[in-house]
């Protein structure tokens, strides 16, 4: 109890280069389970606008990570979260969670989902639509938390209490997915250096 009557959280360690063995074994061709978990955050019939988000993750030397793994978590089209939202049940066809390994050759990652609605902050003010991302890889000692917001939601973004907490306003744009086509967004992540993506402690 370390003298405080609380336990201490188990410390993080890197996921390492072979994270796929445990989390996406079927992607490697290892048939221990019938399928990998988290292949899609939605099922047929999910309400809302279908969108695709693609991107890469680059390191401080500008190299694209080909061994990175991301997980996404989001609300349904009404802003209700599937897992334990105290406001009530979410769209049954939105599971909200996806696991995305970057392509082993190109490092591109891709998420096909629906655009989430707005959910409130603890003080009741609405956050802008966003998809939470958790990023692990070799060389990342603790999973990085960031969020994908959408550049075509400028009104909601301007009112989002989370984005408002970013002191250096020019860094907000690192969290805005660029609209590159109808329902298609681009979100490139920079771990370090010029254009470094904002990472959160939430």
**Shortest reach from residue 72's CB to other proteins, in Å:** 9
**Shortest reach from residue 184's CB to other proteins, in Å:** 23
**Shortest reach from residue 143's CB to other proteins, in Å:** 6
Which among 119, 113, 93 has a CA at the least distance from the CA of 177?
A: 113
* C-beta of residue 136 within 8 angstroms of C-beta of residue 79: no
DSSP string, 161-191: HHHHT-SSGGGGGGGEEEEEETTEEE--EE-
Is residue 134 a contact point for other proteins (CB under 8 A)? yes
Positions in 4-33 near other proteins (CB under 8 A): 6-23, 25, 28, 30, 32-33
**Residue at token pair 């349904």:** 76
Write the burial class of residue 89 (CB in 10 Å: 0-12 exposed, 13-18 middle, 19+ buried).
exposed
User: Cβ closer to other proteins: 105 or 182?
Assistant: 105
Positions in 141-200 near other proteins (CB under 8 A): 141-145, 147, 162, 165-167, 171, 191-193, 196-200
Radius of gyration of the chain, Cα coordinates, nearest whole angstrom: 17
Is residue 86 a contact point for other proteins (CB under 8 A)? yes
Q: Which of 48, 55, 82, 117 binds other proteins (CB under 8 A)?
A: 82
Q: How many residues of this chain interact with other proteins, rule: CB under 8 A?
A: 81
CA 107 to CA 36: how far, in whole Å? 19
Q: Which listed range, 44-52, 63-71, 107-115, 148-156, lies at the site for other proteins (CB under 8 A)?
A: 63-71
């Amino acid at each position: 109890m370390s003298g405080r009557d609380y336990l201490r959280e188990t410390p993080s360690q890197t996921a390492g280069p072979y994270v796929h063995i445990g989390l996406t074994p079927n992607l490697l061709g290892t048939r221990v389970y019938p399928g990998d978990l988290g292949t899609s955050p939605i099922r047929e019939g999910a309400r809302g606008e279908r969108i695709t988000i693609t991107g890469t993750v680059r390191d401080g030397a500008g190299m694209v990570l080909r061994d990175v793994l991301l997980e996404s978590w989001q609300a349904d089209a009404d802003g209700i979260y599937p897992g334990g939202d105290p406001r009530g049940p979410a769209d049954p066809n939105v599971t909200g969670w996806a696991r995305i390994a970057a392509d082993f050759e190109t490092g591109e990652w891709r998420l096909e989902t629906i655009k989430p609605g707005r959910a409130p902050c603890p003080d009741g003010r609405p956050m802008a639509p966003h998809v939470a991302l958790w990023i692990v890889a070799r060389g990342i000692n603790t999973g990085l938390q960031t969020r994908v917001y959408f550049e075509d939601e400028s009104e909601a973004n301007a009112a989002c209490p989370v984005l408002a907490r970013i002191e250096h306003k020019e860094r907000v744009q690192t969290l805005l997915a660029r609209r590159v086509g109808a329902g298609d967004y681009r979100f490139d992540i920079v771990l370090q250096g010029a254009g470094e993506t904002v990472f959160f402690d939430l």
